[in-house]
Structure 1
């Protein structure tokens, strides 16, 4: 069939997912099921794996609005992508599941992958999910010479959702009705910002005395530990986490492609904010729009929260400085 003269087929956002492991495949699934895009490239150095995953999706494509799903092994099909999601990296061992222990192996993988992706899609927005996400985002920014508004990590967006979830359970409310953020490292030094938590427009700190500190008779501080260990508790049994991470990533991509934008605690270089004099990638509430991160919001932190955020930044700075870039 020949189209009418002058007809041009509309272009759907082209999204390439680098890494066809548990996380990469789950992200592809969420992008497709939520109808965020009609064009997904599944990229993995193991082409047979990428091909099998893409074929599996294609078999059920009629249930997802007939999307185009393309496997790729060398990166060629990722050319001119609008969004590139990087999930590739080394996995923690069973004995040590720390994100920081695998970063050096992951950096070597990124040194090979990122330059190819940037050459093929120089105008794309890059979302880094590879662990440890904050440090790997710094590495990708440096390796690819990418601007911080177009290269960032989902960071503490997932931690923030967990935070809201645990608080909502206490009040028997839907998590969507709780406002609150976790900032800093997406890891053990993450900082739940209790001073900004609100429900129905009411600050929780105005209602609960010694909220998550001091005497804390209602033991709100246990939520801090639940937020930080939430992923580890899942990985301890499954061996990995993927669904919540995939939903988080899809939520950010929807903000990029949907036109409305979203404020989320995502991570990029925050030099100049909160007194940070050096480049350090960590999460703060950001406005994510079609062009990437347009604004960063500085929450009115308490002195204790400022101290914890600085400690988180110091942890990440130490990790960044140890990278061999």
Structure 2
């Protein structure tokens, strides 16, 4: 029986390889029997620590590698997470890497959560110089050490930092995923849900563009059960008619409602990042709003910004364009220009040299 079981195991592995089963050959193999899922988190502030906790609580990672320039802070977070191991779904190895970023090269995913939330008190652009300087301290060190996994970046301004990571390292842009408007899209669905009484999980609607105040709601393409919101409104205006601009603004500014009471955002953004990590590690081919490199969508290219993306083991596999109204399309272009204006303020950016590449 044991011999037959071993034969079956190896036959199963062979079939996975031969038929391109989506989970075959993915992950860091530590033995012939088991593949560990390793995630690194750079930055152990409000967001980074909550990302690590979400990954632990959801059982997404087998090993967590935590980095921070504040040795005392990262030591405290490692201790707190280890103390939680009796209460989480699975045992997880938790490693204190301090500022030894090269140790992240073994990871399947590296989450960039380096930032200083106090600088974002009025808008996400406030962290522009801090987070882009921080990225320069670790990005090349991780890549040069042999990292070949996926970057998931949540530091703000998200689209600028993602563009910088690509620019500085020359890394495959499909393997750089910004959390972008993933959380903003969840906020949009929640606000629509409150208006019409349908679960946000059953609403297909996206915020797109910059993860910031220039983002827009793609209402023309929003659907429920395959029916456009505009169709539902025409059929039943008493239930489905609402002020789109008001809802868009609530989604856009939702993070600052959270910030007002506790000077940070934590839970939702951490869960948003964990959702992207799960989509990668489980090779889900999930459609999520995420910041990715524009390669001609709506005539935009050369910067990262958010559109619905198919996300799997190799990162961003496909980018969807939506049917936008004239107002929405104009707003998307303005949003992209805002990202470019932010990038132009950075001392590493030489647009003429970059465009000549």
TM-score, normalization by structure 2 = 0.83
Q: Which structure's residues are more often helix, by fraction?
A: 2
Partner SS for 1:194:
coil
Once the two structures are superposed, residues 245-295 of structure 1 have per-residue CA deviations (whole angstroms, 9 ceiling, x without a partner) of 00101111100011222101101210311112x412110111000000010
- State the structure with more CA Rg: 2
> Match for residue 321 of structure 1?
344
Matches of 1:260 and 1:93, distance apart in 2: 35
**What are the within-5 Å matches in structure 2 for residues 84-163 of structure 1?**
84-93=110-119, 96-163=121-188
> Match for residue 256 of structure 2?
232
Partner SS for 1:221:
helix
> Match for residue 29 of structure 1?
53
Contact 1:114 1:144 in 2 (8 A): yes
> Match for residue 196 of structure 1?
221
Residue 78 (structure 1) aligned to one of 104, 110, 130: 104
Contact 2:102 2:141 in 1 (8 A): no
TM-score, normalization by structure 1 = 0.91
Aligned residues: 311
Contact 2:123 2:213 in 1 (8 A): no
> Match for residue 212 of structure 1?
none
> Match for residue 291 of structure 1?
314
Matches of 1:87 and 1:315, distance apart in 2: 22
> Match for residue 334 of structure 2?
311
Once the two structures are superposed, residues 176-207 of structure 1 have per-residue CA deviations (whole angstroms, 9 ceiling, x without a partner) of 01111111011101110001111122211123
Report the aligned-residue RMSD: 1.7
> Match for residue 213 of structure 1?
none
Q: Where do 5+ consecutive residues of structure 1 fail to align?
A: 1-6, 210-215
Contact 2:119 2:126 in 1 (8 A): no
Deviation, structure 1 residue 223: 0.5
Deviation, structure 1 residue 217: 7.6
Contact 2:209 2:335 in 1 (8 A): yes
Partner SS for 2:130:
helix
Once the two structures are superposed, residues 223-264 of structure 1 have per-residue CA deviations (whole angstroms, 9 ceiling, x without a partner) of 111011100111111101011000101111100011222101
Partner SS for 2:177:
strand
Partner SS for 1:225:
helix
Asked if residue 220 in structure 1 is aligned to residue 244 in structure 2, the reply is yes
Change (3 A) 1:223 1:121: farther
> Match for residue 303 of structure 2?
280
Matches of 2:126 and 2:76, distance apart in 1: 30
Partner SS for 2:307:
strand
